[in-house]
Chain A
Amino acid sequence: MSAPLTRLDSRAIHLPETNIDTDVIFPARFLLKIDREGMDDCLFRDWRIGMDGASLGHAFDDPALREVQVLIAGAGFGCGSSREQAVWALVDWGIRLVIVPDFGDIFAGNALRNGLLCLPLPAAQSADLGARAEAGAVFTLDLPARRLSIGAEQIATLDLGEAEVQAFAEGWDEIDVILNRDLAEIRLFEARHRSSQPWLVDLS
């Protein structure tokens, strides 16, 4: 499970490309791993490391940016494959906040479940923040206050419910929550479902 997230102060990496798909974030050939070790090493692998094994000088290979926790990118980030490895790799590397105009739907769901905060901001604003990131701006995220700022300047308010803020702060344990809270409702639903569409429930 990811480390708790309530506040961060960090520079940001800017990748201006649009439609950065999950194959680029986490190339398919690493999908055959069955554990979660070393995911960060696969992150943006083919943008970072050339065929000859040498660094291509990508921001994610820049030692000066190694502690960065914020990523700003173009529209359509995380489109494509449902692979949760893309999120695991980002989080393992240290990224906790992604700011883009819009996200792939499945990616956004995966992100939420792994303590990676997705913040959609309009394209012009994202691009502007990207430029400021390149100039070295430090972003401050205050989750309980639902506020993103650069210094004293407030940049965005986060549209997050209490449960989400709490989940980021304490870690996400959805299976336990559902089984503890909703199991009776699930059983009731199944009984109704069996009477209305018995062919769906009584499988041999």
Chain B
Amino acid sequence: MNAFPPERHRTLYDKLWEAHVVCEREDGTTLLYVDRHLLHEVSTPQSFVALDRRGLKPRRPEANLAVPDNAVPTVGRDRPIADPQARAQTARLVENVGKHGIPFITLDDPRHGIVHVVGPEQGFTLPGITLACGDSHTSTHGAFGALAFGVGASECGIVMAAQALPQKRARTTGVEVTGTLAPGVTAKDLALALIAQIGANGAAGHAIEYRGAVISALSMEERMTLCNMAIEAGARVALIAPGEVTFAYLEGRPMAPKGAAWDAALAHWRSLPSDEGALYDREVTLDAAAVGPFVTWGTSPEDALPSDAFLPEPGERPRIARALDYMGLSAGAPLEGTPIDTVFIGSCTNGRLAELRAAATVLKGRRIAPGVRALAVPGSGLVKRQAEEEGLDRVFLDAGFEWREAGCSMCVAVNGDRLEPGQRSASTSNRNFEGRQGRGGRTHLLSPAMAAAAALTGCLTDIRKLEPSA
């Protein structure tokens, strides 16, 4: 018998998973330790009820961080929230976290923002951790090499009570991104191209790891955009190996380790990337050089096409016919040139500083088309402040945009920012589902630069064809 088991080449996912196994159960589930938990107002009222009913306290209050983001208005923040339900829900979060000693970022705190923007900004998100949140876009944090996943309200309650969660191990999909990104093409376009390729539930049951030279060269913002959108391909978990870009982003963040702890953490984080020769259950290749600016035309993120494409013919596919009908579009027509009346730049997908800069570069010195309503909503108060220090607010305002306070805003449209029935938006958010931005609203997902271009022309426009500004 061999004294040493053969060396096993492990993926990043394997390493993160195995480092958090509390115990295996007979039913095939694993009790997985959860290092951190982000909370917002919409997904947790019932989770706290589950604790209170049993007289339980959170096991480690300090491992949680709460921020209201979905329901909060992005204007008039000096006044109480006007909508009674939104006000009550936000008040309920304040009450619950107060009672349970959970760290909380208030609406008037300069650090306030969307959970998935705030977590990384504060260094709450770190490589090597497990992180749960009652929100499907928790996959965003995988950009740091964290095992981060969205959970339901019941699971939020379990995480708070036990700091552990029964989970089934996912299979792994390695997404190798080859080639180089062409000018004007962004992480958002890569994300949409991948979803179009594998389908909206194509990675269900899988953890996606993005890899390759293109990925290593991406900024943290771009990595977060990619991982954020992985859930739109069905993957609850997305991962990118931590490296120098990650460490440079995190060093000095308020909640990141300091001094000797930083050095120890760094040594651990360097051991996380997938081993050479580690195997994935499935491998997918995406040629970045073949990806142009993508725009969605339908009611699922998989309905994404290159911006110069033509709308599909439904044939025998009733879903396509239904989506075209909902979107008020005709089969075979060009996607480019479709008139829009609303532009939304923001969300946890594309509401960070780099993305506001990208949009502002397109907008600088120009005016949006008449009749277009355009909103720029920073992902956090800190993003907003930095943008203002750079004068980006002026660029947006001079172009005719509204410059708002941080929050989810028109991404989920429960805070009063929404489309009216029949309105059509160019949106940097992540979901074009029926009614997502307001009942009867029609959403085209695209990158921040493409959204800015649409605002200027009043229709879907390939950023590469936009006349350079005078």
Contacts and interface: CB of A to CB of B under 8 A. Distances in A.
B162 A186 contact: yes
B437 to A, nearest CB: 9
Contacts of B150: 82, 106
A196 B92 CA distance: 37
A76 B234 contact: yes
A103 interface: yes
A105 B435 contact: no
Interface in A104-152: 104-106, 109-110, 113-114
Contacts of A109: 151-152, 155
B31 A82 contact: no
Contact of A178 (B164, B201, B319, B436): B164
Closest 5 CB pairs of A and B: A76-B201, A84-B152, A110-B152, A32-B85, A199-B257
B409 interface: no
B382 interface: no
A63 interface: no
A75 B232 CA distance: 14
Contact of B204 (A105, A176, A190): A105
A21 to B, nearest CB: 5
B181 interface: no
Nearest to A103: B204
Given A17-B319, A105-B204, A174-B158, A34 B92 contact: yes
Nearest to A176: B54
18 contacts: A19-B302, A21-B431, A27-B439, A32-B414, A46-B435, A75-B201, A79-B200, A79-B204, A103-B204, A109-B155, A161-B26, A164-B27, A179-B56, A179-B161, A182-B31, A190-B163, A197-B265, A203-B63
A105 B412 CA distance: 20
Interface of B: 19, 22-23, 26-28, 31, 33, 35, 42-43, 45-46, 50, 54, 56, 59-60, 62-63, 70-71, 83, 85-86, 88-89, 92, 126, 128-129, 134-136, 150-155, 157-158, 161-164, 166, 199-201, 204-205, 231-232, 234, 236, 255, 257, 261-262, 264-265, 268, 300, 302, 318-319, 322, 412-414, 421, 431, 433-436, 439-440
Interface string A66-109: 00000000111001111110010000000000000011111001
A171 interface: no
A175 B163 CA distance: 11
Interface in A1-56: 16-19, 21, 23-24, 27-29, 31-36, 46, 51
A185 to B, nearest CB: 5
Given A17-B322, A51-B421, 4 more contacts: A19-B300, A31-B42, A74-B319, A84-B134
A58 interface: no
Interface of A: 16-19, 21, 23-24, 27-29, 31-36, 46, 51, 74-76, 79-84, 87, 102-106, 109-110, 113-114, 161-164, 174-176, 178-179, 182-183, 185-186, 189-190, 193, 196-200, 203-204
A46 B27 contact: no
Contacts of B136: 80-82, 106
A34 B47 CA distance: 11
A189 B33 contact: yes
The DSSP consensus for interface residues of chain B is: loop
A105 B237 CA distance: 10
Contact of B236 (A31, A32, A106, A190): A106
B264 A179 contact: no
A104 B434 CA distance: 17
Contacts of B200: 19, 76, 79
A186 B129 contact: no
Nearest to B61: A203
A7 B79 CA distance: 53
Nearest to B437: A28
B202 to A, nearest CB: 9
Contacts of B54: 175-176
Contact of B46 (A21, A36, A200): A36
B43 A83 contact: yes
A161 B28 contact: yes
B173 to A, nearest CB: 13
A193 to B, nearest CB: 7
B152 to A, nearest CB: 4
B50 A175 contact: yes
A8 B255 CA distance: 52
Contacts of A175: 50, 54, 56, 157-158, 161-162
Contacts of B231: 80
Contact of A106 (B56, B89, B152, B257): B152
A29 B413 contact: yes
Contacts of B234: 76, 79, 104-105
A186 B265 contact: no
Contacts of B33: 186, 189-190, 193
Contacts of A200: 35, 126, 128-129
A19 B440 CA distance: 18
Contacts of B129: 200
Q: Quick one: which of A46, A75, A178 has the most chain B CB within 10 A?
A: A178
B89 A34 contact: yes
Contact of B70 (A16, A24, A31, A76): A31
Contacts of B262: 199
A200 B146 CA distance: 12
Contacts of A190: 33, 163
A44 to B, nearest CB: 11
